[in-house]
């Protein structure tokens, strides 16, 4: 079953990424764009986990974990910047 | 081995002089003098060995593969010069003890003097031309220190700069000449070069090599037109002048002339350049010496003139002339050193050196006067003194040459004319200073100097007399052995007799005497004649020229380095195009033989995203935050690509670096304008698009061409040896901590230095802080939203766990100290963002710069530890252990090294980011009130 589910999910997540990027460039506000980037991080980790399932490797899970964590921190930084300008105060 | 000690002992003396300075002046002088005296004794002990073998060599191999050895060679010429350097050096030490006042730092003076002595001995004892050049440069530098000893005097500083520039430039020319010579003879070894004289003279590079070497010689020996530095070097304390301008510094050039005589002399070019330079210098120096009112100025120009005489003798190229030159080197050193010392005594006791004011000193210091008069007579060439003998030989040699054909008579005539001037200034030295009425308006009443200040003068004047009366006994053997070293073996017949009968040289001497007296007593006419010329001061012209050079350099720098990063980038990219274009046009097949990988949807999408996000970054470049978001997409896709194409280590690193970069940029963004105005003209944009397109095309082509070819790199070696040699299956990590551990050590050091540099740049920087965002909205009032604070706090232990995990397994699976360090740093930065600097400071009070130092130290010490096991630096060790419960595990020394990397990375990242963030905290009174 995986043999046909995986390509379909790959295609769907890829499409999601494209839509995310569309939202990122369209905006209109910076919060919209930030949200788009954060969703891109989430979708990327999904993509990597999918790839790990396809390759049956556990290493990819860690990469996904890191993307999730670092993506969160990146988003926090952008949000802090929007709110206060100065991210470390 | 004994040879090595000879230059080394004075070098130790320099240290001793500096250490014993507080013992008092006399003790410091004795302690300093002990080592050169020992060196002199060593030299003398080598003489019996020398007369048996002709030359002694001692070599210590340094880099044998490059033919670089520490090589010392001792022969007759080296003997002569070493004796002069050490002998007169010892006398100068004694003399300087009484010359320098209490205010002058004795230790510093002696240390410089000893350093200079080392350099001079290094020159005369070197058995390798490159080594000789090194010591040659060292004399330039140490003489700079000596001349500028009284650095509070502007003329001393200027004089020292002038001397350093002239002799330093000459030194560069000399280096070029030596390199050419080394290529011609295929060796820098002095023995080889001296043996291959014929080969050198016939080589087509000979003229270039000769002229370059002569440029070095002439600048050092103050030959016309490079002579102007010497009179200005007289701003030095008189002991320095006595040493540098009688026996050493200026004689270094002459020494090299003598040293390379067998290899270079004997051609027409040699004769023309060397003898004409010598003759002009002889005349110019003698003429200007008459015009100087300053006692030391007179002696300075007289030195120039005598150096010209010696150069002329070498230029004549006959064997007898070379012998005469060597003889005059000895004589000039003795009488000129004593004259300088006498001038120093007069200056010391009268407070002036102006010959228009110091008159009639005979009454005040008859003893010193008598000594100075004997030395001055030797300089004039009065019979029964040493100067007479060598001058007689010089006159005889000018008569012997026939280089100018029917015009050959001109050389003896000009030599006699120089003799006339030489007698005239010597008479002036005697008559003006010691007779000629009473002193005029002197600051002190002159009297005899301290007893021991006269001892060096007495010894030198005694030598002048002894050599003059009993030349064969006193100086004959030394002259023989030195001259035969210059000539490379066979010596011509010559006699050192005082009386050769009535002949032409004697007549020339008599003419010079009579003419000199005549010129002296009619010197007023000479002064009046000279007054018609505009006065020219070499030091001032030099300063002006230097200022102009500095201005020009500044303008060039402003033009080249105008601070525009775009411009630097443009220049570099243009260069890249220039270099890559020809190579790529030669490549005929773009696609290699390797088959393409199948295309899948996610890769295609990611590739598309990469391109579009890249374009987006450019398009939104004037809205900085959006450009930054686009850039994040680029980074994300690149990490995905790394993960997709089996480079998980790279993917993890790229991700962590990406976030750190974004945070850093955002910190900096706060201080920058939110929007960039449109600055570039359309033409410029067009140009930039063209260049960027071109570069992109070129790099893309290279990548494509590379990726479609089978590539055999050194990676196979690493793959094969990673487990067996480094004990890890993660090849990337094993390369970092083991195979290329030394590189990593260097990199973390650089990282630490960069972080410290940023820290220092930021310290005390006060920047403008905007009070609202780009659309004019005020900043939010809540500094640290509670939800963020709670979530991030709970994230910290998880993140630390991840980083420990990544660190520990790094040796075998993707991870390692660098990634773990970045993850830890990012997690901590999150706390800074969520809670603020003050909150963090109370909980995590670590000095990050110390952390960097610890990290680098741990890594370096891990490397050093392998020395304990007699292994090379950074050899790694690993073994497997078995513990109950834990099971089998591996321990490797590389882990400790990796720990150092980890600590450095954390320290450096936090030092930069936390400090950049901290800059605003103390400076925000407005928001603090809002809390």
Residue in B157, B158, B143, B155 with CA at minimum distance from that of residue B542: B158
Dump pLDDT digits (tens) for B326-372: 999 999 999 999 999 999 998 888 888 888 888 888 888 889 899 99
Q: Show the tokens assigned to B146.
A: 């000596």
User: What is the DSSP track for B771-827?
Assistant: SB-TT-PBPPS-SS-HHHHHHHHHHHHHHHHHHHHHHHHTTTSS--HHHHHHHHHHH
Band of the pLDDT at B925, cuts 50, 70, 90?
very low
Give the whole-angstrom CA distance, residue B495 versus residue B489: 18
Q: Show the tokens assigned to B712.
A: 């055999």
Band of the pLDDT at B218, cuts 50, 70, 90?
very high
- Minimum-distance CB partner of B644 among A13, A51, A70: A51
Q: Determine contact: B665 vs chain A, CB below 8 A.
A: no
Whether the pLDDT of residue B169 is over 50: the answer is yes
What is the predicted pLDDT for the residue at B674? 67
Q: Is residue A7 part of a domain?
A: yes
Q: Are B739 and A54 in contact, with CB atoms under 8 Å apart?
A: no
Q: Which positions in chain A touch B626 (Cβ < 8 Å)?
A: 27, 30, 33
Give the whole-angstrom CA distance, residue B799 versus residue B203: 73
Name the one residue in this structure whose structure tokens are 């479609």: B708
Give the whole-angstrom CA distance, residue B55 versus residue A2: 90
Q: Determine contact: B808 vs chain A, CB below 8 A.
A: no
Task: Catalogue the E-assigned strands of B157-278.
Answer: none
Q: Which positions in chain A touch B832 (Cβ < 8 Å)?
A: 88
What is the predicted pLDDT for the residue at B931? 40
Omega prior to B864 cis, within 30 of 0:
no
Q: What is the domain extent for residue A25?
A: 2-84
Q: Which of B603, B631, B643 to mutate to test the interface with A (most CBs of A within 10 A)?
A: B643
Whether the pLDDT of residue A89 is over 70: the answer is yes
Q: A50 to chain B, minimum CA–CA distance in Å?
A: 11
Across the interface, whether the CB atoms of B837 and A88 are under 8 A apart is answered: yes
- Minimum-distance CB partner of A83 among B629, B780, B834: B780
- Among chain A residues, CA nearest to B617: A25
Q: Determine contact: B779 vs chain A, CB below 8 A.
A: yes
Across the interface, whether the CB atoms of A63 and B651 are under 8 A apart is answered: yes
- Minimum-distance CB partner of B666 among A24, A25, A77: A77
- Minimum-distance CB partner of A86 among B609, B829, B920: B920
Dump pLDDT digits (tens) for B491-523: 888 877 777 778 888 889 899 999 999 988 888
Give the whole-angstrom CA distance, residue B680 versus residue B688: 10
The length of chain A in residues reads 89
Top mean-pLDDT range of B91-105, B168-182, B447-461, B832-846: B168-182
Whether the pLDDT of residue B553 is over 90: the answer is yes
Please give the radius of gyration of chain B, using alpha carbons only, rounded to the nearest integer.
38
Give the whole-angstrom CA distance, residue B302 versus residue B288: 8
Q: Is residue A33 part of a domain?
A: yes
Q: Show the tokens assigned to B644.
A: 């997709």
With a CB-CB cutoff of 8 Å, which residues 822-861 of chain B face chain A? 823, 826-827, 829-830, 832-834, 836-837
Q: B765 to chain A, minimum CA–CA distance in Å?
A: 16
Q: Tell me, what's the ipTM?
A: 0.94
What is the predicted pLDDT for the residue at B172? 94
Across the interface, whether the CB atoms of B663 and A67 are under 8 A apart is answered: no
Dump pLDDT digits (tens) for B781-821: 788 888 888 988 898 999 999 899 888 887 777 778 888 99
- Exposure b/e, B145-165, CB count within 10 A at least 16 = b: bbbbbeeeeeebbbbbbbbbb
**Mean predicted confidence (pLDDT) in B900-904:** 92
Across the interface, whether the CB atoms of B833 and A66 are under 8 A apart is answered: no
The length of chain B in residues reads 931
Residue pairs between chains A and B whose CB atoms are closer than 8 Å: 162
The phi and psi torsions of B675 (rounded to 5 degrees) equal: -125, 140
Question: B247-261, B603-617, B744-758, B765-779: which range is least confident on average?
Answer: B765-779
Q: Are B594 and B708 in contact, with CB atoms under 8 Å apart?
A: yes
Q: Is residue A89 part of a domain?
A: no
What is the predicted pLDDT for the residue at B102? 83
Name the one residue in this structure whose structure tokens are 């003194």: B385
Whether the pLDDT of residue B303 is over 90: the answer is yes
Average pLDDT, chain B: 86
What is the predicted pLDDT for the residue at B928? 41
Q: B831 to chain A, minimum CA–CA distance in Å?
A: 9
Across the interface, whether the CB atoms of A70 and B655 are under 8 A apart is answered: yes
What is the predicted pLDDT for the residue at B920? 66
**Mean predicted confidence (pLDDT) in A11-17:** 91
Number of domains in chain A: 1
Q: Which of B632, B644, B913 to mutate to test the interface with A (most CBs of A within 10 A)?
A: B632
Q: Which positions in chain B touch A77 (Cβ < 8 Å)?
A: 659, 662-663, 666, 833
Give the whole-angstrom CA distance, residue B180 versus residue B93: 39
The phi and psi torsions of B494 (rounded to 5 degrees) equal: -150, 160
- Exposure b/e, B13-23, CB count within 10 A at least 16 = b: bbebbbebbee
Dump pLDDT digits (tens) for B432-456: 888 888 888 888 888 888 888 889 9
Q: Which positions in chain A touch B913 (Cβ < 8 Å)?
A: 88
- Minimum-distance CB partner of A89 among B651, B806, B836: B836
Q: Determine contact: B50 vs chain A, CB below 8 A.
A: no
3-state secondary structure B287-353: HHHHHCCEHHHHHHHHHHHHHHHHHHHHHHCCHHHHHHHHHHHHHHHHHHHHHHHHHHHHHHHHCCC
Non-local CB neighbours of B36 within 8 Å, separated by 6+ positions: B9, B10, B13, B86, B89, B90, B93, B114, B117
C-alpha to C-alpha distances, B603 to A15, B633, B703, B909, nearest whole angstrom = 12, 15, 17, 33
Q: Is residue A77 part of a domain?
A: yes
Across the interface, whether the CB atoms of A69 and B799 are under 8 A apart is answered: yes
Across the interface, whether the CB atoms of A40 and B633 are under 8 A apart is answered: yes
Across the interface, whether the CB atoms of B917 and A88 are under 8 A apart is answered: yes
Q: Are B153 and B161 in contact, with CB atoms under 8 Å apart?
A: no
Band of the pLDDT at B556, cuts 50, 70, 90?
very high
- Among chain B residues, CA nearest to A50: B602
Across the interface, whether the CB atoms of B609 and A59 are under 8 A apart is answered: no
Across the interface, whether the CB atoms of B626 and A10 are under 8 A apart is answered: no
Q: What is the reported pTM?
A: 0.70
- Minimum-distance CB partner of B629 among A18, A37, A70: A37
**Mean predicted confidence (pLDDT) in B578-592:** 84
Across the interface, whether the CB atoms of B659 and A74 are under 8 A apart is answered: yes
Across the interface, whether the CB atoms of A74 and B813 are under 8 A apart is answered: no
Dump pLDDT digits (tens) for B744-789: 889 999 999 999 998 888 877 777 777 777 777 788 778 888 888 8
Across the interface, whether the CB atoms of A88 and B608 are under 8 A apart is answered: no
Q: Which of B606, B609, B665, B794 to mutate to test the interface with A (most CBs of A within 10 A)?
A: B609
Region for B533 from its dihedrals, namely left if φ exceeds 0, alpha if ψ lies in -120 to 50, beta otherwise: beta
Q: B600 to chain A, minimum CA–CA distance in Å?
A: 9
Q: Determine contact: B640 vs chain A, CB below 8 A.
A: yes
% of residues, chain B, pLDDT over 70: 98
Top mean-pLDDT range of B445-449, B565-569, B598-602, B608-612: B608-612
């Amino acid at each position: 079953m995986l043999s046909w589910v995986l390509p379909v999910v790959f295609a769907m997540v890829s499409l999601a990424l494209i839509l995310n990027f569309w939202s990122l460039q369209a905006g209109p506000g910076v919060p919209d764009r930030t949200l788009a980037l954060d969703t891109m991080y989430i979708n990327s980790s999904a993509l990597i986990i999918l790839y790990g399932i396809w390759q049956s490797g556990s290493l990819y899970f860690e990469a996904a974990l890191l993307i999730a964590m670092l993506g969160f921190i990146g988003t926090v930084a952008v949000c802090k910047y929007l709110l206060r300008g100065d991210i470390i105060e | 081995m004994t040879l090595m000690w000879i230059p080394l002992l004075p070098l130790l003396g320099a240290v001793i002089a500096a250490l014993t300075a507080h013992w008092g002046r006399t003790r410091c002088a004795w302690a300093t003098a002990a080592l050169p005296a020992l060196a002199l004794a060593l030299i003398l002990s080598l003489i019996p060995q020398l007369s048996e073998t002709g030359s002694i060599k001692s070599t210590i191999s340094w880099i044998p593969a490059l033919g670089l050895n520490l090589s010392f060679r001792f022969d007759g010429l080296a003997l002569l010069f070493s004796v002069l350097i050490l002998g007169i050096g010892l006398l100068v030490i004694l003399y300087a003890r009484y010359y320098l006042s209490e205010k002058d730092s004795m230790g510093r003076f002696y240390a410089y003097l000893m350093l200079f002595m080392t350099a001079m001995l290094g020159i005369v004892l070197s058995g390798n031309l490159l080594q000789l050049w090194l010591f040659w440069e060292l004399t330039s530098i140490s003489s700079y220190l000596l001349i500028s000893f009284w650095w509070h005097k502007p003329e001393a500083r200027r004089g020292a700069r002038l001397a350093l520039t002239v002799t330093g430039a000459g030194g560069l020319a000399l280096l070029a000449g030596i390199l050419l010579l080394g290529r011609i003879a295929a060796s820098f070894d002095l023995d080889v070069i001296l043996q291959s004289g014929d080969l050198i003279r016939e080589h087509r590079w000979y003229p270039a090599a000769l002229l370059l070497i002569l440029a070095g010689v002439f600048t050092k020996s103050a030959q016309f037109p490079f002579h102007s530095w010497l009179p200005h070097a007289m701003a030095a304390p008189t002991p320095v002048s006595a040493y540098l301008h009688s026996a050493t510094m200026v004689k270094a050039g002459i020494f090299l002339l003598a040293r390379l005589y067998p290899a270079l002399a004997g051609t027409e070019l040699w004769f023309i350049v060397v003898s004409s330079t010598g003759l002009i210098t002889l005349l110019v120096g003698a003429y200007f010496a008459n015009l100087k009112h300053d006692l030391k100025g007179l002696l300075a120009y007289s030195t120039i003139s005598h150096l010209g005489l010696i150069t002329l003798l070498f230029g004549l190229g006959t064997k007898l002339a070379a012998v005469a030159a060597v003889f005059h080197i000895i004589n000039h050193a003795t009488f000129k050193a004593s004259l300088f010392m006498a001038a120093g005594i007069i200056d010391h006791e009268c407070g002036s050196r102006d010959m228009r004011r110091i008159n009639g000193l005979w009454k005040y210091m008859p003893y010193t006067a008598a000594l100075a008069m004997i030395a001055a007579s030797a300089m004039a060439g009065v019979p029964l003194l040493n100067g007479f003998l060598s001058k007689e030989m010089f006159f005889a040699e000018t008569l012997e040459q026939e280089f100018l054909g029917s015009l050959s008579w001109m050389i003896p005539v000009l030599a006699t004319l120089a003799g006339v001037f030489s007698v005239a200034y010597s008479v002036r030295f005697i008559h003006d200073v010691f007779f000629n009425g009473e002193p005029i308006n002197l600051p002190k009443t002159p009297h005899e100097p301290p007893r021991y200040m006269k001892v060096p003068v007495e010894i030198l004047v005694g030598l002048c007399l002894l050599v003059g009366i009993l030349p064969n006994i006193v100086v004959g053997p030394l002259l023989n052995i030195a001259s035969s070293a210059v000539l490379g073996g066979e010596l011509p017949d010559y006699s050192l007799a005082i009386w050769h009968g009535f002949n032409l040289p004697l007549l020339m001497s008599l003419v010079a005497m009579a003419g000199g007296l005549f010129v002296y007593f009619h010197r007023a006419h000479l002064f009046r004649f000279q007054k018609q010329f505009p006065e020219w001061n070499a030091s001032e012209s030099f300063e002006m020229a230097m200022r102009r050079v500095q201005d020009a350099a500044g303008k060039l720098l402003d033009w080249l380095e105008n601070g525009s990063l775009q411009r630097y980038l443009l220049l570099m990219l243009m260069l890249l195009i220039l270099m890559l274009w020809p190579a790529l046009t030669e490549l005929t097949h773009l696609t290699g033989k390797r088959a393409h990988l199948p295309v899948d949807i996610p890769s295609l999408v990611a590739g598309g995203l990469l391109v579009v996000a890249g374009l987006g970054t450019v398009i939104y470049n004037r809205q900085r935050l959006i450009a930054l978001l686009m850039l994040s997409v680029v980074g994300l896709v690149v990490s995905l690509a790394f993960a997709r194409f089996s480079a998980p280590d790279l993917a993890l690193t790229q991700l962590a670096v990406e976030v750190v970069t974004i945070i850093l940029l955002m910190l900096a963004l706060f201080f920058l304008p939110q929007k960039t105005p449109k600055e570039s003209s359309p033409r410029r944009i067009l140009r930039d698009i063209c260049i960027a397109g071109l570069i992109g095309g070129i790099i893309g082509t290279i990548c494509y061409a590379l990726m479609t070819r089978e590539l055999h790199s050194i990676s196979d070696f690493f793959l094969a040896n990673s487990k067996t040699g480094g004990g890890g299956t993660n090849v990337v990590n094993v390369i970092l901590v083991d195979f290329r551990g030394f590189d990593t050590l260097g990199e973390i050091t650089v990282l630490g230095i960069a972080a410290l540099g940023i820290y220092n740049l930021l310290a005390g920087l006060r920047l403008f802080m905007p009070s609202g965002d780009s659309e004019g909205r005020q900043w939010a009032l809540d500094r640290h939203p509670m939800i963020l604070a709670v979530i991030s706090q709970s994230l910290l232990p998880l993140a630390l766990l991840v980083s420990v995990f990544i660190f520990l397994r790094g040796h075998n699976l993707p991870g390692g100290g660098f990634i773990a360090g970045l993850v830890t740093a990012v997690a901590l930065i999150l706390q800074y963002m969520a809670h603020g600097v003050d909150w963090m400071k109370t909980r995590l009070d670590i000095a990050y710069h110390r952390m960097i130092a610890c990290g680098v130290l741990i890594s370096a010490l891990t490397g050093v530890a392998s020395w304990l096991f007699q292994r090379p630096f950074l050899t790694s060790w690993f073994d497997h252990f078995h513990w109950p419960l834990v099971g089998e595990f591996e321990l490797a020394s590389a882990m400790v090294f990796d720990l150092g990397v980890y600590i450095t990375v954390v320290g450096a990242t936090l030092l930069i980011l936390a400090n950049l963030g901290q800059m605003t905290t103390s400076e925000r009174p407005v928001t603090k009130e809002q809390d």
